[in-house]
Amino acid sequence: MFNNETILRRFVLASTSFAILFASCSKKIDTSSVTADAVSSEAVSNENKDQKYMPNELLVKFKEGTSQASKNKLINGISATVAEKILTKTMQRFNDKEGVLLLHTPLAVLEARNKMKSLEVEYAEPNYIYQHDAVSNDTYYAGGLSWGVLGNGLSPANQYGSQANEAWANNHTGSATVHVGVIDEGAMYTHTDLAGQIWTNPYDRADGIDNDGNGYIDDIHGWDFDRNDNTTFDGSEDDHGTHVSGTIGAKGGNGVGVVGVNWNITIITAKFLGRRGGTTANAIKAVDYITDLKTRHGLLLPATNNSWGGGGFSQALKSAIDRANTANILFVAAAGNGGNDGVGDNNDATPNYPASYTSANIISVASITSTGGKSSFSNYGATTVDIGAPGSSIISTVPAKNLGSAYASYSGTSMATPHVTGGAALYAASNPTASAAAIKLAILNSAVPTSSLSGKCVTGGRLNVGGF
């Protein structure tokens, strides 16, 4: 996960076709602003003072049937203007006629929220800001460096890997008919190991027309909700989303670079994290976008990957996650990186959203090391974190600064999460009619008991996709 996430970069080597990064540094996202305004973190009782949100912005949902006069009175009471009405196709499909209003107000956010408390208001909340928290012949797999996909029964081996190579040995290597949504930064769809793995929309050709009627014109590889355009890859700043995508589905068996949990897959990009993070408003639209695509086109789409967090509780975002659950989409989420104390935070005591929502389709993922220990940065929770997965020193795809194909080693619960998402996709490839609940059960029931996770997560164990 990318809030204060440790991202270790090693192995940098330029070549004509790809580069591998050789360095040791930490990447930190500038959270000082998402627009020209300063990010607010007003302290208030019963709220985490470290939570960041957009200043002077409020997300408000009025109860159905509220008159326009009543709405205007409340909006005028905080001297606000309506910046945007969020009423996605998915909301409409769920018979939501009100949507959510994004208001701009000169008042402090929490003051404005308190003034919006009324029988006519379902909820009013800050617009929170989130941060990123068969045998393959691929170079780093063959060398044993891609430990996250290894098992203990084949060579190269690592008993603490996801056991994906044992599934491959049984000819379970994934399928391009399986789609997953990566809700994150953008992904480099021209990367040597991702070309052909990223969705090219067959329902909306690039002609300036919204051919499939989903509200997004020419969403060729997905949509960029941060910039509100169809350019889902904006350069080397999209390294996190590219890295996550490679862990899920870097092309296998091509003799190049790394291999993902799935050799074959179709990844849909729903970019909402920009250089300075992403907002609740855009996260809602990204989640609903994926839900709508599955529902509209009947896609085999078992899961979305959500390697991000940092905001407080948002009913608006939870509702979007619940809509995804109704559409049988798992929401795989990073448990969080607790900071620099080397312990990680207990999510049972201090929730980390979105991983800590109680929605039935969430799988919350902690990180483990290549020797089976809980990663020092990883959050945990005996009742709120579900499973552990490889997350320390994970090599995957990234864009080079010159926009060539590159590889780098990153660490974080952001890196653990896509191993689980990849597992969900691998299971769906062999079990295409399985429900989200059935896939979640298969993932949790197959967890391998691990001493470092005992009492630290629901399963007490680590990911094992060897039987998928």
DSSP output for 95-116: T-SS-EEEEE-SS-HHHHHHHT
Tell me: do 110 and 156 sit in the same domain. no
Total structural domains within the chain: 2
Tell me: do 78 and 147 sit in the same domain. no
Tell me: do 423 and 455 sit in the same domain. yes
Q: What is the CATH number of the domain that holds 69?
A: 3.30.70.80
Task: Tell me the average pLDDT of the chain.
Answer: 88
CB-based contacts of 333: which residues, under 8 Å, 6+ apart? 306, 307, 309, 354, 355, 362, 363, 364, 365, 417
The model's pLDDT over 63-122, given as tens digits with 9 standing for 90+, comes to: 999 999 999 999 999 999 999 999 999 999 999 999 999 999 999 999 999 999 999 999
Tell me, yes or no, whether 311 lies in a domain: yes
User: What confidence score (pLDDT) does residue 342 get?
Assistant: 73
Tell me: do 162 and 250 sit in the same domain. yes
Hey, what amino acid is at 372?
Answer: G
pTM here is 0.88
Q: Which of 138, 184, 204, 226 is catalytic?
A: 184
User: What confidence score (pLDDT) does residue 41 get?
Assistant: 39
Q: Which of 245, 375, 414, 446 is catalytic?
A: 414
Residues 218-246 have a mean pLDDT of 97
Tell me, yes or no, whether 423 lies in a domain: yes
The model's pLDDT over 306-358, given as tens digits with 9 standing for 90+, comes to: 999 998 999 999 999 999 999 999 999 999 998 667 788 999 999 999 999 99
Q: Are strands 330-334 and 362-368 parallel, antiparallel or unpaired?
A: parallel
184 catalytic? Reply is yes
**pLDDT above 50 for 183:** yes
Tell me: do 280 and 185 sit in the same domain. yes
> Which among 302, 324, 258, 251 is positioned nearest to 425, based on CA atoms?
302
User: What confidence score (pLDDT) does residue 340 get?
Assistant: 66
Q: Which of 132, 172, 240, 243 is catalytic?
A: 240
Question: From CA 133, how far away is CA 450, in angstroms rounded?
Answer: 23
414 catalytic? Reply is yes
Tell me: do 206 and 90 sit in the same domain. no
Tell me, yes or no, whether 7 lies in a domain: no
Tell me: do 186 and 320 sit in the same domain. yes
Tell me, yes or no, whether 47 lies in a domain: no
Tell me, yes or no, whether 45 lies in a domain: no
Q: Name the domain boundary from 80, 107, 129.
A: 129
Q: Name the domain boundary from 80, 105, 129.
A: 129
Q: Name the domain boundary from 74, 108, 129.
A: 129
Owning domain of residue 372? 12-30+132-462
User: What confidence score (pLDDT) does residue 138 get?
Assistant: 58
Tell me: do 391 and 445 sit in the same domain. yes
User: What confidence score (pLDDT) does residue 148 get?
Assistant: 83
The model's pLDDT over 16-46, given as tens digits with 9 standing for 90+, comes to: 333 333 222 323 322 223 333 344 434 333 3
**pLDDT above 90 for 286:** yes
3-class DSSP state of 282? helix
Q: What is the CATH number of the domain that holds 403?
A: 3.40.50.200
Residues 168-187 have a mean pLDDT of 95
